[in-house]
Amino acid sequence: MTSELVARDPGPGIDPDQVPALDDLQIGHLRHIENLANQLPGDWSKMGGVDPGQELFDAYRYQLAYMAYTLGLAQYHWLPAAPSALKPTFEKTVEKMLRRDVWSYWKETSRGARVLDPDITALREPWTDPVVKENIMYSGHLYMMTGMHAALFDDDRYDTPGALTFEWDPVFQGLAPESHVYQRSTLGEVIYWQMVENGWLGVACEPNCIFIVCNQFPMMGFRFEDLRKGTSRAEEATSAYAAAWERRGMYAGNGSFHPFLMVKQDQLAPPGGIAGDAWVASVMNTWNRDVVREVFPRQLRGTLKTGPDGTLSHYSPSVVPQVRAALDAGEPADLPHDTTDLSTDPTFGYIAAALSELGDERVRGLRAHADRFMNPTWENGGLYYPRNDRAWDGEGNRTGVDTMTGNVLLGYSRLNVPDGLWALYNRPWTAEHFAEPRVVSQEGAFDLRRAYYHRDSRTLLLTARPRDGKPTDLSLTVANALPRPWTLSVDGIAVAGSDGPEHSSAVRVVADGDTLHLSTALDSETTLALRWS
């Protein structure tokens, strides 16, 4: 911008400090997600996990889903008036979710395995359709992702025929390519009827195993579908699900969630510790908040270890019983870590996600630990914590990072707010929001820190800054412009208006019906305030 544009007062009636604004770290996490989403098809750089078969909790599907959820939280809580900023990246995550690289594991997994079905004597015939039956660990996320997209962007593109099509077309396998054609609502139907058939205990992930956590995500999907269709399936599903598990028993003797039910054996798996508890709590809070807030503090008790300068990390499962016993006895409970535990699963990230959702300030201690011991790295404007298979450093500090935690979950915790996901479920945007002025397209190498429509003063407030400190041209398209005289201020100085020249030396504005096109040069952080009288 020109040197005359220095003031930052957005105008009367608005305290800019009360308007949500992304900080540098949050912008860094969003840039990293954008960088990953824009990698070429088949390029999974920085996303590779320890397992080659996409079977563990750092699989592409989980990273992509949580990338979308992080973008969704940022859209709702931080940039509500600029779908242009995050929607393209959100759609890239869905595009990648549909790639065969992400779901082709299912053909072999569909045959079954003795580890999850001890009584199996023969494998089933495999199938390639990844959503028609079971596999809620994939279909549930895809359903929530596409529903969240509709709810946030007022866009039902994934509910058009063939919008979710799975192409099975390996060159050297099978008799012919296969296409499995779905759209958001038909995907929801498949999930819904499996839940009905299973007595509302949920849909299996792997054959014979219904995981509690994986069935939380389609509940969000049902809710988003209801918002678009005017139905009430989420209420039906959550009520029936809660009743079914009340009968079956969701909790183990120590208060933890059972991870899964083996259906044929009618046998619940023993609790897996804080990893599963935190993951469930972070999502179940959306529809079952009172219960989560009652049980999760007990599940979390004795699992966190205080480190230097207020940092926090989690104990290994082998230590937690000793810590809890010490707490019960009123003794010091600062036990050393078990550095023989070499696992680097997403437990750290799951806890961070849960604490962020429940508004527990201890999430700051976890992030402080990550920033001190987990090698925060900036690359191409993006912030992440690279995978590190070395679980501990020489002083016994936890240093291991999996790709799910390092690429997504720590960023998710920074962009979430207390009850952040709960708000998407319980306080969704309405037609009134979508009728307000908002930025629907943008061009230029810049990041938006603010994008907020202040209803009382009829002001669209935007703060942009060039990427990587390099001057750029900024171009914005503002939809739903009000049929009233308007004034555009840049850093507090009026530069254009409907009653006067629409152009100045600094900015160009073109009105087209209820749309305004704004363009200017941008060489430093700048706040634009578009106010209607």
pLDDT at position 1: 37
Tokens of 402: 């999996």
Strand partners, 209: 262
Tell whether the model's pLDDT for residue 392 goes beyond 50: yes
Q: Rounded to 10 degrees, what is the CA torsion of 214, 228, 74, 481?
A: 170
Residues with Cβ within 8 Å of 216's Cβ and at least 6 positions away in sequence, in order, are 140, 280, 283, 284, 286
Q: State what percent of residues in the chain have pLDDT above 70.
A: 97
> pLDDT tens digits for 503-515?
666 789 999 999 9
User: Cα separation of 437 and 440, whole Å?
Assistant: 9
Encoding tokens for residue 384?
Answer: 């992440």
Residues 6+ apart with CB under 8 A from 329: none
Indicate if the pLDDT at residue 65 is higher than 50.
Answer: yes
Instruction: Please determine, for residue 229, whether its predicted confidence score (pLDDT) is greater than 70.
Output: yes
Tell me how far apart the alpha carbons of residues 147 and 155 are, in angstroms, rounded to a whole number: 10
Whether 9 shows a pLDDT value over 80: the answer reads no
Listed range (6-10, 165-169, 226-230, 259-263) with the worst mean pLDDT: 6-10
Task: Report the C-alpha gap between 321 and 336 in whole angstroms.
Answer: 13
Percent over 90 (pLDDT), the chain: 92
In this structure, CATH architecture of domain 436-532:
Sandwich (2.60)
State the average pLDDT over residues 477-505.
87
Q: What is the mean pLDDT of residues 326-339?
A: 95
Residue-wise pLDDT for 87-122, tens only, equals: 999 999 999 999 999 999 999 999 999 999 999 999
> Distance between CA 117 and CA 204 in Å, rounded?
12
pLDDT at 431 > cutoff 60? yes
- What is the predicted pLDDT for the residue at 502? 61
Per-residue pLDDT of 350-384, as tens digits, reads 999 999 999 999 999 999 999 999 999 999 999 99
Provide the pLDDT for residue 2.
Answer: 34
Tell me which residue of 248, 94, 460 sits closest to 258, measured CA to CA. Answer: 248
Per residue in 159-200, pLDDT tens? 999 999 999 999 999 999 999 999 999 999 999 999 999 999
Q: Average pLDDT over the chain, rounded to whole?
A: 95
For residue 21, give every residue at least 6 positions away whose Cβ sits within 8 Å of its Cβ, in sequence order, or none. 78, 449, 450, 463
The CA distance from 469 to 272, in Å, is 46
Pairing between strand 304-306 and 267-268? Answer: unpaired
To the nearest 10 degrees (0 to 180), the angle between helices 217-229 and 233-248 is 150
**Angle at CA of residue 93, ends 89 and 97, nearest 5°:** 165
Q: Are 80 and 98 in contact (CB under 8 A)?
A: no
Residue 252 has pLDDT above 80, yes or no: yes
Nearest one of 450, 475, 472, 467 to 522, comparing CA atoms: 472
* Residue among 136, 191, 144, 427 nearest 289 (CA): 427
pLDDT reported for residue 10: 67
pLDDT of 499 > 90? The answer is no
β strands within 267-390, DSSP E = 267-268, 304-306, 312-314, 377-379, 382-384
pLDDT category, 24, cuts 50, 70, 90?
very high
Confidence at residue 7, expressed as pLDDT on a 0 to 100 scale = 38
> Can you tell me the mean pLDDT for 515-524?
96
- The CA–CA distances, whole Å, from 430 to 151, 152, 424, 426 equal 9, 10, 11, 12
Average pLDDT over residues 426-437: 98
Cα-based angle 521, 527, 528 (whole degrees, multiple of 5)? 75
Task: Give 427's pLDDT tier (boundaries 50, 70, 90).
Answer: very high
pLDDT at 5: 34
Is the pLDDT at 438 greater than 60? The verdict is: yes
pLDDT value of residue 272:
85
* Displacement of CA 174 from its chain's centroid (Å): 36
The amino acid present at 214, given as its one-letter code, is: C
pLDDT at 503: 61
pLDDT on residue 6: 36
Residue 89: enclosing H or E segment and its boundaries?
Answer: helix 83-97
Q: What is the pLDDT of residue 501?
A: 61
